[in-house]
Structure 1
Amino acid sequence: MSTTDSAPGLERPLRADAARNRELILQTARKCFAERGISVTLNDIAHEAGVGVGTVYRRFADKDSLIEALLATKFEALNDAAARAAEEIDPREALRVYLMGVFEFRARDRALADAIVRAGTSRPSIVQERDRLEAQVTEIIHRAEQAGVVRVGFDYRDLPLLTTMLGAVADATRDTDPYAWRRYAQVLIDGVMPPAAPERLSGTPLGREALERAMRPTT
């Protein structure tokens, strides 16, 4: 028996078919959570992926373990967005690029807010990624403060609620006008960083029928 076979705590590499199934499950879960939110079940994911429920449970003991596996990729994407924004020379543009990036991420992904909330109780590597994101974005905001282009008192901790506000618009208008959220993202960004001169809002307001559909409570 080899050392790898006998040593406790060492995981054998997944067979090729098992590795493919795991990646398929992750991709399907990412899509389902983004489109329908965190209420999606493992059975739903198995059906959508075209695999047996037992296959899902062999890879992930429960939904929480699957969500945790996806958390790492979400924070990686957010940290990448922050790093790209930080490369902007103009402090105002750096903050605008990050805000628009995270708003767009939330507009596509209904599960983003829940994922961020869950990060605090996740494994240390994910908590570390969350803390790295906070440090990166705080520095972007600090640069904007130093340049005098952001409202005094704006803080990294304001972002989850701003993102939730934008997400509510995106969710309500997704079927009517999938890009309506951009208009209201501009309103939020201008609230955080008032422009020197008024700028025209992007897009147009929803028509009466579309607005009524968007505002109608979901069942």
Structure 2
Amino acid sequence: MRADAVRNRRLLLEAAAAELAEHGTEVSIARIAARAGVGKGTVFRHFATKEQLVTAIFGDQLDRLAARGENLLGHADSGQALLEFMAGAVELQVADRSFCQAVTVDLRRDPQLRAASDRLVAAAESLTARARADGAARDDITGHDIVLLINAVAQATAPLGDAVPGLWRRYLGLIFDGLRPMAARPLPVPAPGSLAPP
């Protein structure tokens, strides 16, 4: 790829990430192109559809979250590591309007996103397994549970997020206390085995 094409692609991805974070998945290609300082034709030379562009952004976000989880595996306190992983993931979703929207659409059928999602769940499972082994998390909690709970906190607080910044921290604290083994009761339904779409 020529140097100018590489530069345009980088500018496009940066502009798209910023526009999606601010305005959600409904943002127009024209707006993304304008922010990147390129024409709409340049966007479509790099990404045949808007969905491909969103997939590239979303895949990068999942990879960054997975990498953060993998780095936290070296943390001395397994409970704190799990909490920091969850907090970082919720914070990303709260700051980026497109993230929760992208989770709910059919983009996860894309092989690149499926691989990134699997890596994220594996990181969550490794952190959760350490916390379970150390007695910092209840025995019946899985990595899939953690990923779903992260989404739950972000989506539950989204309507009040602008009015009450940081509100998500309150509900993450409540949920994390529920993950602790003290006074845990059996859960009525088992954890999901996979987050893949049907």
Question: Shorter-chain TM-score: what band?
Answer: 0.7 to 0.9
> Is the 2:135–2:181 contact (alpha carbons within 8 Å) kept by the matching residues of 1?
no
1:30 and 1:75 mapped to 2: Cα distance? 13
Pick the aligned partner of 1:25 from 12, 23, 27: 12
Report the TM-score, using the length of structure 1 for normalisation. 0.72
Residue 129 of structure 2 corresponds to residue 142 of structure 1:
yes
Residue 86 of structure 2 corresponds to residue 99 of structure 1:
yes
Residue 168 of structure 2 corresponds to residue 181 of structure 1:
yes
- By how many angstroms is 1:30 displaced? 0.7
2:62 and 2:113 mapped to 1: Cα distance? 8
The residue matched to 1:153 in structure 2 has which SS?
coil
What corresponds to 2:110 in structure 1? 122
Report the TM-score, using the length of structure 2 for normalisation. 0.78
1:145 and 1:65 mapped to 2: Cα distance? 38
Residue 69 of structure 2 corresponds to residue 82 of structure 1:
yes
> Is the 1:113–1:160 contact (alpha carbons within 8 Å) kept by the matching residues of 2?
no
Q: Percent identity?
A: 32
Larger radius of gyration: 1
- Structure 1 residues 70, 135: closer, same or farther in 2, change over 3 A? same
- Structure 1 residues 67, 96: closer, same or farther in 2, change over 3 A? same
Query: Where in structure 1 are there 5+ consecutive unaligned residues?
Result: 1-12, 197-219
2:4 and 2:19 mapped to 1: Cα distance? 22
> Is the 1:99–1:189 contact (alpha carbons within 8 Å) kept by the matching residues of 2?
no
- By how many angstroms is 1:36 displaced? 2.1
> Is the 2:51–2:107 contact (alpha carbons within 8 Å) kept by the matching residues of 1?
no
Residue 51 of structure 2 corresponds to residue 64 of structure 1:
yes
- Structure 1 residues 194, 49: closer, same or farther in 2, change over 3 A? farther
- By how many angstroms is 1:86 displaced? 0.8
- By how many angstroms is 1:193 displaced? 2.5
> Is the 2:62–2:117 contact (alpha carbons within 8 Å) kept by the matching residues of 1?
yes
Residue 142 of structure 2 corresponds to residue 155 of structure 1:
yes
- By how many angstroms is 1:175 displaced? 2.6
The residue matched to 2:97 in structure 1 has which SS?
coil
Q: Give the alignment's Cα RMSD to 1 decimal.
A: 2.4
The residue matched to 1:22 in structure 2 has which SS?
helix
- Which amino acid counterpart does residue 46 of structure 1 have in structure 2? A
> Is the 1:42–1:62 contact (alpha carbons within 8 Å) kept by the matching residues of 2?
no
2:38 and 2:115 mapped to 1: Cα distance? 33
- Structure 1 residues 129, 165: closer, same or farther in 2, change over 3 A? closer
> Is the 1:134–1:156 contact (alpha carbons within 8 Å) kept by the matching residues of 2?
yes
